[in-house]
Structure 1
Amino acid sequence: MGKRERENEDEGPSRGGSAPTIGQQTSQIANKIVRGAKYAKLKHEKHKSKKKQRAMRQKELERAEALGIEPPPKPVPKTIENTREKDETTVQPDDAEVAADEDQDEFAEHFTRVRPPNVLITTSYKVTGLMYRFISELLETLPCATYYKRQGYPLKKIVEYAKNREFTDLMVFNEDRKQINGLLLVHLPDGPTAQFRLSNLVLSTDIKGHARATTHRPELVLNNFDTRLGHRVGRMFASLFHQDPTFRGRRVVTFHNQRDFVFFRHHRYIFEERQKKEKGQKEKVKVVKARLQEIGPRFTLKLQSLQKGTFDSKGGEFEWIHKPQEQETSRRKFQL
């Protein structure tokens, strides 16, 4: 980022009545050379002040450790996540109304273990070797999934075929110009249907030091699906996995929502016994350390639409559609 770009970034209005930024303090100076010199001086003073504050905090921390008292609390930096604008559809953990609705929604049979997951995976009409490698790794991630070649069938016929064969979910991956760029997820037999944009795909073979998947059922972790829409999307993802994972396999699949981007990761736990020297002890002791080893694949999903019922491109009723001009009015407001 260049000097002029930093000036433009700092010249925005101060948020929440906070102190004016350096760009705001110097924006009224007409002379470019004088303005630049003033900006550099204020920037240098701010840097010195921050350095001094860090040194003071470090001294207080060392003093607290020496006296055996509780150290001062660490300052919490402001981020887009912790300054998120409150959404009226955010679900509280003890919301009885939401719990009652979810007990009767399309995924209720899955969570009551009436219908175990049985997933059908297919693709767009023309695919490359990249898609076949991706599907192969996905089948290892989802032990309850089955792959069928598209063979020119329209999606509506595939949906009917999957219903008749008692599949619980349909996943259709799209490829365009040798790039896998989309996912259509249909919950059967009554929907809903979610369409996602898929990006940043990395196969297991491209992950350094990756592990190999086993046939055990993985654990599932869903993070930050806080709104009513987020709950619905999270339950769609959860319906793809068994409710009783095989913990012996030490596999875990994560759907992490951050700023309405859903990050998919696949890891396994590794427990290692190491020798470690504790404080106040002369000899090393054995400790067990846990870490994660990525299996793959990894990719990112962005919700584009959520449709009631199964796939219907013409007469379908949509619960939610991504409209950037209307919904993305603030960087700190999210839908999921």
Structure 2
Amino acid sequence: MFYRTLLGVALAGATAVHAETDLPFALDWKFEGPAAPYFAAVDNGYFAENGLNVTVEAGSGSLDAIPKVATGAFPVGFADMNSLIKFLDQNPGAPVIAAMMVYNKPPFAIIGRKSLGIDGPKSLEGKVLGAPPPDGAWAQFPIFAAENDLDVDAITVEPVGFPTREPMLAEGNVAAITGFSFTSYLNAARLGVPEDDLVTLLMADYGVDLYGNAVIVNTEYAAENPEVIKGFLAGAAAGWKSAIADPASVIPMLIERNPAADADLEQRRLQLSIDANVATDWVMENGFGIIDAARMDAALAQIATTYEFQTTPDASLYFTDAYLPEGGFSLAD
């Protein structure tokens, strides 16, 4: 009888494991600090609690996940909201939509060096700006330039690769680069650029009223598997809540996947993203994952100042709260 009971428990456990839904998740970038909350969701069982076996795949830029999700190669991904808007405008009806806002305040930035003459937006004129073509910050540079009345013809733009971006800044081959604030700043500092020589021009502080990265979903998959998407968003939100409560506790989970990473550096990078992009005053007051309709309309109007929409912009085509709890998730204890 005892052995039958053990066998029954073992079979029940096997059935429970088997019942988990495999769900690959396409990140925007490498396994760095801001990816740690998703590993926390895996290792702390937040995804498993929702019946999911999530695998996290690294990306190569904030636009990278959009075609992966739109083609159905990945059911869920993480991508720049503004690039998604343009993608859907150029590919009407493509089966992809944002379902949870993560970077309430976008990390789009210009990182420059004081010693090379960078001290504000206007100082970019007459300088060389390094910009990776697939970079989300570079994609929003026209809005930044327009809002700050920059003479773009006076700025020499040097297309650079992601691996060479910060080294070129460190070597003085470019005076500034586009990138995510928490990525490029710390990478340049790690390469030996004194932090008091680095200038961060966060576009959101200079007139750019856009949202940042969001979890995106394949709409066909989501329509057929709504509970899976709801479970993924709940697990991801729990991962972020855990990271915000104790950033140090989630970094070992990141290092396990990326042993070459510097734990202290990545914890600092995570903290920068939490403070400036995720746990904003608005999010802590109104909820994580949701958007403000008026702000989204303003963002669409701002995008239209430098981008010609082929179809009439409509926020409902780009973001849905159908898989979120009312009022989003709470990040507070």
Instruction: Report if TM-score (shorter chain) is over 0.5.
Output: no
Between Structure 1 and Structure 2, the one with more helix by share is 2
- Structure richer in strand, relative to its length: 1
- Bigger CA radius of gyration: 1
Higher relative contact order (CA 8 A, sep 6+): 2
What's the TM-score, normalizing by structure 2?
0.22
**TM norm structure 1:** 0.22
